[in-house]
Amino acid sequence: MAVGVDATLSPCWIQLRVRLPEALCSIYPMLRLFTPSLGADVHDRYFFPSIVQTLGYGDTETLLLTAPPYFFAFFVAIGIAIHSGRKNERCFHIVVPMCVSAIGQIIYISKTRTGPRYFAMFLMTSGVYAAFNLVMAWISSAIPRPRTKRAVAMALCTGLANASRKIPPLWIYET
């Protein structure tokens, strides 16, 4: 048992208390907490049909135009995940798609024509989904041993990622 840890705690809480001060177990959950909160994930989950509706189409056409960016994002995410696994590299496979998403958001904001704005929507969704899927793989490969340390880091990342997706609706909608 770790020195200075209360013996009445369960083994899970003991591991959390021992591992939390370690740098890797604190940095990666923060990465997982703040990257979805930058607005990329929020626009996809809550506002994307409204964003597509700004193209000027009716309700049915808007919903039909919402699906292709997600299909494209699915295939891009699979391709980037396969390439990341083959190259055994995670950092640039996360950073580059997030930059692509940021470029898509800049194009969407700066253009007024329908074609460039719809193309920007493809960039926004593909960048977001390709990057966020790799964060857990990065954490798992960055903290290989001991298994308890990896388990605590992954649990913190999953919990904080879920919290980051529940908090923005509380800011946006009045209760």
DSSP secondary structure letters along 108-175: HHH--SHHHHHHHHHHHHHHHHHHHHHHHHHHHHH--SSHHHHHHHHHHHHHHHHHHHHHHHHHHS--
Residue with tokens 């997706």: 165
DSSP annotation of 89 reads -
For the stretch 99-158, pLDDT in tens is 888 898 899 889 989 899 999 989 988 888 887 778 777 777 777 777 777 777 777 777
What is the pTM (predicted TM-score) of this model? 0.70
For the stretch 44-85, pLDDT in tens is 556 778 888 888 888 899 889 988 998 999 999 999 999 998
pLDDT for res 148: 73
